[in-house]
Amino acid sequence: MSIGLKLGFTFVDIGCGDGFFAIPAAKVVGQKGLVYGLDVDEDAISRLSERARRKGLVNLVLKVGKAEKIILCDGCADIVFFGIVLHDFESVTKVLSNAKRMLKHDGRLIDLDWKKKPMEMGPPLHIRFSEEEAAGLIKEAGFKIETVKTNEPYHYVIIARP
């Protein structure tokens, strides 16, 4: 499923971990683009930095910290991406508010997350957001939902604009 990432874009990966999404994004946006990565796990950021170095990727800006407290840039992002992490934050409202501040006026918020149904993998069911719950939180933060798509069998993707 394409999220519309293009050469030259600025991509912000909130909860980037060790780069499962950030590394491919850095390749797509190329030298003229930029990928910001933020995670609370210092070791994960270290691994991501090393992986990027080994691959010759110099278009990543990485930061350790809480998404509730850090705004990586003001109005710079074409895409702010949450890759199966929205349920992990202490204050989803604050994180989404910060995401809105980072986005360009025509940027997009992308939330890829686990469906709220029993399955053998993923986070515990009780902390997951259903598509409706996640879309509601995103709307409450001042976004307009463009699409909610299922990515069978485990995930869904919500695309929203400020």
Is residue 41 over pLDDT 80? Answer: yes
Domains contained in the chain, number = 1
Q: Which domain holds residue 155?
A: 10-161
Is 1 contained in some domain? Answer: no
CATH number at residue 78: 3.40.50.150
pTM, two decimal places: 0.96
What pLDDT is recorded for position 151?
83
- pLDDT digits over 95-117, tens only? 999 999 999 999 999 999 999 99
In a domain, 101, yes or no: yes
The token pair that represents 106 in the structure block:
């025509």
pLDDT at 2: 81
3-state SS of 27-62 is HHHCCCCEEEEEECCHHHHHHHHHHHHHCCCCCEEE
Q: Is the separation of the CB atoms in 70 and 98 below 8 Å? A: yes
Is 110 within a domain? yes
Q: pLDDT digit string (tens) for 66-89? A: 999 999 999 999 999 999 999 999
| pLDDT for residue 8 | 98
pLDDT at position 1 over 70: no
95 inside domain = yes
Residues 102, 61 contacting (CB under 8 angstroms):
no
CB atoms within 10 A of CB 93: 12
The helix (run of H) or strand (run of E) holding residue 151 is: strand 144-151
- Report yes or no: 121 and 146 within 8 Å, Cβ to Cβ: no
Residue 64 lies in a domain: yes
Q: What share of the chain is helix, strand, coil (3-state, %, to 5)?
A: 30, 30, 40
- The verdict on residue 5 lying in a domain is no
Residue 111 lies in a domain: yes
Q: For the segment 23-36, what is each residue's pLDDT rounded down to a tens digit?
A: 999 999 999 999 99
In-domain check, residue 31: yes
Tens of pLDDT, residue by residue over 113-131, are: 999 999 999 999 999 999 9
What pLDDT does residue 152 have?
85
